[in-house]
Amino acid sequence: MVTRRLILILGDQLSHNISSLKDASPDQDEILMCEVRDETDYVGHHKKKIAFIFSAMRHFAEELREKGWTVHYTRLTDDKNSGSFVGELKRHVENLKPDGIRLTEPAEWRVHKDISGWADNQSLPVDFCPDHRFICPIDAFISWAEDRKTLRMEYFYRDMRRKTGLLMDGDDPEGSKWNYDAENRKPASDDLFMPKPIRFRADDLTDEVLDLVETEFNDNFGELRPFHFAVTREEALRALNKFIKEMLPYFGDYQDAMLSGQKFLYHSILSPYINVGLLEPMEVCEKAQQAYYDGDAPLNAVEGFIRQIIGWREYVRGIYWFSGPEYVDSNALKADRPLPWFYWSGETKMACVKAVVDQTREEAYAHHIQRLMVTGTFALITGIDPHDVHEWYLAVYIDAFEWVEAPNTIGMSQFADGGKLGSKPYAASGAYINRMSDYCENCHYKVSQKTGEGACPFNPLYWHFLDRNRETLKDNGRLKRAYSTWDRMSQEKRSDYLKTAEHYLEQIESL
Ligand SMILES: Cc1cc2nc3c(=O)[nH]c(=O)nc-3n(C[C@H](O)[C@H](O)[C@H](O)COP(=O)(O)OP(=O)(O)OC[C@H]3O[C@@H](n4cnc5c(N)ncnc54)[C@H](O)[C@@H]3O)c2cc1C
Ligand code: SF4
């Protein structure tokens, strides 16, 4: 007897070779895709993010139909839409009476728990397929992590290089060094030529989604238009090719730089496409590697780029699944201040924070150092509740899915996991931002001023952070120098720092 399966494809599984479609056939199996309120509403996502995911889903469904598949597609505003994946599964099982359900493992605890909870009570077989788009399977990461006292990305990354063979020269790393990060910290100047990321014109399907988002999510954060993201694989491949040709050669040198008026520098803006499945991580890395072998991009750039994908991206996904659903509630530093309103409004006198929030509102994008060392560091040194910070990052960025966002926010940026992911907190004074950006040139605050009215808030707040968290952080080897500098300061200087910091914390909303 022929088995008729209903294959559920989620909004971040838009890959034609996704594991749930392997060995399936349009002649006997059918596909279910759904836009549900559970997913649009668990945080108030940026308007561009909702539009991107729905438009990419609708285009993917069309492509599947063109290949002969029957796709049952629930639109957000369909009368019978139950609002949840489980509700839609129930409804379609009742109507279509399939012999079984199949899906690729959901990438997040929340969705996995809902669907597997439902599946446990079904007489119908429900088959979860591993997600082969990731290079390191979850159980392989767990075995790697379980054996170790400390988890460090660098060792994991070397294993991924060996496993994939990327930038390997036999058993050795290409160029005889694993990591070229030390060469990747140049500040950028605004006379450099910066190519713009490719922009795509919205077609009728995207226009329809933009209208839907305008009506249904008008109060959400962010500017919806202009909307120029790729929404199909063909467009995402064009974005990839442009990046490899024009930006990759400079990616390494200016990876950590920030410039007002230059929102993208030489970054790839590929994370949204990789995260929803329009591009596969390995194909992206192989293209970058080829550019190095063809002599079109230097090793420091290509290694730096590949490390972000087979290193950081795979590593944070492993940490997410290794740590369990309670990871997002971690709060090792017991930070409990609410998120200041200017994270939404951008109304702050701090030029760096304003630039990053304004850009985030317009583009649903900020690059890694903006996320880590501006909005992230400010939240860390002022002691904002990490769960609030996590929900903000999850809402405002187009590439934000909990499996990748939470380890970056809770672990890397807020040190709320107590150092599971990173070896030290990313706390810094204004000097770092001044070195890596031009933000300080037009700021209300003076970056060279350490204390008193008008001092850059990052300066006293950095020391306040170290002082108030001393009990928890004092044994961290990478903070030893900072604590001994603090201890060598005169009592009067320390007290000036703390007084200015406390004054700023009291009026944090008007900074
Ligand atoms: C607080 C915070 C929150 C973050 N939230 C997210 C998120 O929700 N979704 C997300 O995809 N990334 C997140 N990141 C990681 C990183 O900032 C983005 O992946 C990157 O900025 C995306 O822009 P890009 O494609 O231009 O990246 P590029 O700088 O061009 O890097 C190339 C690719 O490497 C990968 N990558 C780079 N850094 C990381 C990293 N730390 N973790 C995982 N993948 C990485 C991405 O796939 C990216 O497309 C976060 C970082 C921080 C500090
Ligand atoms: S002076 Fe301080 S607050 Fe102003 S832009 Fe520089 S780092 Fe940011």
The pLDDT score that the predictor gives to residue 1 is 55
Determine which residue's CA is closest to atom 1 belonging to ligand 2: 447
CB 132 within 8 A of CB 19: yes
This prediction has a pTM of: 0.97
Tell me if 457 CB under 6 Å of ligand 2.
yes
**Tally of residues, the chain:** 511
Please name which ligand lies nearest the alpha carbon of 285. 1
Tell me if 445 CB under 6 Å of ligand 2.
Answer: yes
439 in ligand 2 pocket by Cβ < 6 Å?
Answer: yes
Amino acid making up residue 375: T
In terms of DSSP bridges, do strands 5-8 and 30-34 run parallel, antiparallel, or are they unpaired?
Answer: parallel
Question: Which residue has the CA at smallest separation from atom 15 of ligand 1?
Answer: 368
pLDDT of residue 506: 98
C-alpha separations of 266 from 192, 313, 413 in Å: 11, 19, 22
Do residues 407 and 321 lie in contact, with contact meaning Cβ atoms separated by under 8 Å? Answer: no
What residues line ligand 1, using a CB cutoff of 6 Å?
267-271, 274-275, 305, 308-309, 312-313, 316, 367-368, 371-372, 376, 393, 397, 399-400, 404-405, 408-409, 412-413
* CA 127 to mean position of chain CA atoms: 28
Return d(Cα 447, Cα 317) in angstroms, integer: 36
The amino acid at 160: M
Q: Which domains does the chain have, with CATH numbers?
A: 5-129 (3.40.50.620), 138-199+232-323 (1.25.40.80), 342-510 (1.10.579.10)
Q: Counting atoms of ligand 2 from 1, which one is nearest the CA of 351?
A: 5
User: Partners of 71 in the beta sheet?
Assistant: 31
- Find the ligand nearest to 462 CA: 2
Q: Tell me the best of 260, 357, 358, 458 to mutate to test the pocket of ligand 2, counting ligand atoms within 8 Å of each CB and taking the most.
A: 458
* Spacing, Cα 459 to ligand 2 middle (Å): 9
Give the ligand 2 atom nearest the CA of 439.
5
- Of the candidates 329, 333, 409, 395, the one whose C-alpha atom is nearest the C-alpha of residue 364 is 395
Nearest-CA residue for ligand 1 atom 6 is 405
Ligand nearest to the CA of 377: 1
Residue 393 phi, psi dihedral angles, 5° rounding: -60, -35
Rounded CA separation 487/41 (Å): 48
Which residue's alpha carbon is at the smallest distance from atom 3 of ligand 2?
A: 350
Looking up tokens 């075995």, which residue turns up?
143
Find out whether the beta carbon of 374 lies less than 6 Å from any atom of ligand 2. no
How does pLDDT run along the chain (511 residues), one tens digit per residue? 566 999 999 999 999 999 999 999 999 999 999 999 999 999 999 999 999 999 999 999 999 999 999 999 999 999 999 999 999 999 999 999 999 999 999 999 999 999 999 999 988 999 999 999 999 999 999 999 998 888 999 999 999 999 999 999 999 999 999 999 887 777 777 777 778 889 999 999 999 999 999 999 999 999 999 999 999 999 999 999 999 999 999 988 888 889 898 898 889 999 999 999 999 999 999 999 999 999 999 999 999 999 999 999 999 999 999 999 999 999 999 999 999 999 999 999 999 999 999 999 999 999 999 999 999 999 999 999 999 999 999 999 999 999 999 999 999 999 999 999 999 999 999 999 999 999 999 999 999 999 999 999 999 999 999 999 999 999 999 999 999 999 999 999 999 999 999 999 999 999 9
**One-letter amino acid for residue 445 of the chain:** Y
432 lines ligand 2 (CB under 6 A): no
Task: Kindly identify the ligand whose nearest atom is closest to the C-alpha of 12.
Answer: 1
Burial of 30 (0-12, 13-18, 19+ CB in 10 A): middle
Beta carbons within 8 Å of 63's beta carbon, 6+ residues apart:
16, 232, 233
